[in-house]
């Protein structure tokens, strides 16, 4: 596909762009049917609509957001309900019906919702509950979310119960880290992990004898010889500085969206979504949005199907942010895009997560794990992989993965490492249906902050 023509005009206004402030990375799917590949609550076996009532569900949790039109409740199992409020929504307290104003953020409720064919939720009732011990213990959790109910696995393959049960499930990864036999599985308190909080501190001298004592050398690889903590500290500094000074640019984004009903049918390309992306002052704007080269009727964020944000800064920023506090472990050296890199695995705890995954009116903010490829010389990140861990069993998605690749591109007469390709994968629970987006970024061009952009129609 040919790049869309563009013109730089000083101080000329341009309109009609969808604008997204830089935010924590988000993957969102807006389904036409929340149960693709299945007979949904409002679909008959031949796929035609029937007159059954919308699907209903309920859960107890803490109110995050509440106003006259919507309510957001963090359910105890880790899901978040984003539900509309209408004239039929009932508000009930210990004595019976109550004023909706009595339900405020922090209130513990049991919420019942109905779901339409697009997965949107409408609250049918909110019943105020007394705080439980678990709810009181959750006060230290992020935004009222409950603590993880599943124990943290020792490696990132242990959480993939669905994938283990179905070896035909697709994956985006280039291969999972190899399992390494540990000398003492019962005691890993001395295992060598680096957190972002530690990386931001000055490096301290560590005697070789102290470093080796009680350590699992087979797991550390050549950590001591190659001074990997120093590389991580450099990567932390270099990448955070890069994000802060990321120049304004315009590029073309092409997203090929695939679906897979089952292994035999394989991946089927559904459409290609193209857009001109303008990154200006840490904000993303989308212009000239087209589906199969025809103008789209909706903006990028309202479009049906799977979409993602955060590729131009917040994905990378979250990896090294102190409040996310990812834990890193060195794996091996590898050549990637003809660059000598060091590969690390990393994990992010749920209470620190910066990643949101949405399916219709439900979302989760999961713990996640993955791997990162870091240029051994410059400290710049070349590739990031991640997967959602401990997804609640009641959440519609059973597996979510994302990758992001960087490469040197010409921008303003110099080479700059920028995103060139990203992929995300989602699989629907209790089915073999999966969707995959492959996103390519091309034709980067820099522009000044005092310029505006218009596009030939």
Q: Which three-class secondary structure string do you get for 106-138?
A: CCEEEEEEEECCCCCEEEEEEEECCCCHHHHHH
**From CA 282, how far away is CA 24, in angstroms rounded?**
12
Asked whether residue 161 is domain-assigned, the answer is no
Which backbone phi and psi does 269 adopt, to 5 degrees? -70, 125
- What pLDDT score does 211 carry? 34
Asked whether residue 380 is domain-assigned, the answer is yes
Range of the domain at 326: 6-28+243-455
- What pLDDT score does 303 carry? 76
Number of separate domains in the chain: 1
DSSP 43: B
Asked whether residue 198 is domain-assigned, the answer is no
- What pLDDT score does 308 carry? 75
Asked whether residue 332 is domain-assigned, the answer is yes
Asked whether residue 372 is domain-assigned, the answer is yes
Number of Cβ within 10 Å of residue 250's Cβ equals 21
Asked whether residue 403 is domain-assigned, the answer is yes
| β-bridge partners, 285 | 19, 278
99 to each of 61, 81, 95, 126, 260, how far by Cα in Å? Answer: 19, 21, 12, 11, 47
**From CA 276, how far away is CA 359, in angstroms rounded?**
26
Burial 164-202 (b: 16+ CB within 10 A, else e): eeeeebbebbeebbeeeeeeeeeeeeeebebbbebbeee
- What pLDDT score does 6 carry? 33
Asked whether residue 221 is domain-assigned, the answer is no
Asked whether residue 410 is domain-assigned, the answer is yes
**From CA 141, how far away is CA 62, in angstroms rounded?**
11
**SS3 for 244?**
helix
**From CA 178, how far away is CA 61, in angstroms rounded?**
38
Q: For the chain, which ranges sit under pLDDT 50? A: 1-24, 34-45, 49, 134-136, 138-140, 143-165, 175-191, 197, 199-227, 457
Residue bearing tokens 């036409």: 32
Token pair belonging to 153: 């696995």
- What pLDDT score does 298 carry? 80
Q: Which of 145, 85, 138, 159 is nearest to 361 (CA)?
A: 85
């Amino acid at each position: 596909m040919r790049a869309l023509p563009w013109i730089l005009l000083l101080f000329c206004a341009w309109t009609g762009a969808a604008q997204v402030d830089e935010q924590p990375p988000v993957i969102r799917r807006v389904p036409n049917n929340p149960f693709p590949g299945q007979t949904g609550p409002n679909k008959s076996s031949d796929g035609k609509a029937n007159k059954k009532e919308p699907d209903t569900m309920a859960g107890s949790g803490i109110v995050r957001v509440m106003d006259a039109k919507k309510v957001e409740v963090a359910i105890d199992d880790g899901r978040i309900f984003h539900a509309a409020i209408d004239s039929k929504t009932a508000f009930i307290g210990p004595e019976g019906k109550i004023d909706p104003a009595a339900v405020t953020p922090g209130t513990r409720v049991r919420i019942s919702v109905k779901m339409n064919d697009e997965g949107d939720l409408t609250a049918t009732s909110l019943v105020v509950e007394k705080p439980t011990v678990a709810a009181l213990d959750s006060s230290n959790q992020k935004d009222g979310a409950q603590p993880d109910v599943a124990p943290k696995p020792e490696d990132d393959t242990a959480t993939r119960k669905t994938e283990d049960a179905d070896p035909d499930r697709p994956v985006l990864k280039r291969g999972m880290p190899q399992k390494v036999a540990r000398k003492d599985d019962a005691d890993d308190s001395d295992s060598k992990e680096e957190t972002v909080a530690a990386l931001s501190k000055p490096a301290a001298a560590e005697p070789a004898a102290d470093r080796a004592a009680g350590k699992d050398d087979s797991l550390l690889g050549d950590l001591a010889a190659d001074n990997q903590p120093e590389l991580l500290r450099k990567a932390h500094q270099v990448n955070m500085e890069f994000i802060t000074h990321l120049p304004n640019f315009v590029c073309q984004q092409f997203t090929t969206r695939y679906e897979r009903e089952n292994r035999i049918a394989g991946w089927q390309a559904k459409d290609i979504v193209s857009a001109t992306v303008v990154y200006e002052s840490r904000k993303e704007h989308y212009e000239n949005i087209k589906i199969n080269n025809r103008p789209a009727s909706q903006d990028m964020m309202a479009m049906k199907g799977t979409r993602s944000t955060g590729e131009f800064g917040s994905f990378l920023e979250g990896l090294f942010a102190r409040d996310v506090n990812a834990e890193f472990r060195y794996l091996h050296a590898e050549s990637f895009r003809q660059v000598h890199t060091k590969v690390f695995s990393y994990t992010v705890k749920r209470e620190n997560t910066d990643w949101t995954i949405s399916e219709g009116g439900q979302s989760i903010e999961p713990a996640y794990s993955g791997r990162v490829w870091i240029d051994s010389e410059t400290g710049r990140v070349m590739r990031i992989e991640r997967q959602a861990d401990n997804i609640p069993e009641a959440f519609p998605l059973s597996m979510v993965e994302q990758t992001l690749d960087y490469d040197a591109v010409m921008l303003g007469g110099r080479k700059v490492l920028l995103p060139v390709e990203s992929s995300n994968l989602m699989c629907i629970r209790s089915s073999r249906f999966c969707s995959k987006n492959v996103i390519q970024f091309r034709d980067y061009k820099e522009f000044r902050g005092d310029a505006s952009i218009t596009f030939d129609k």
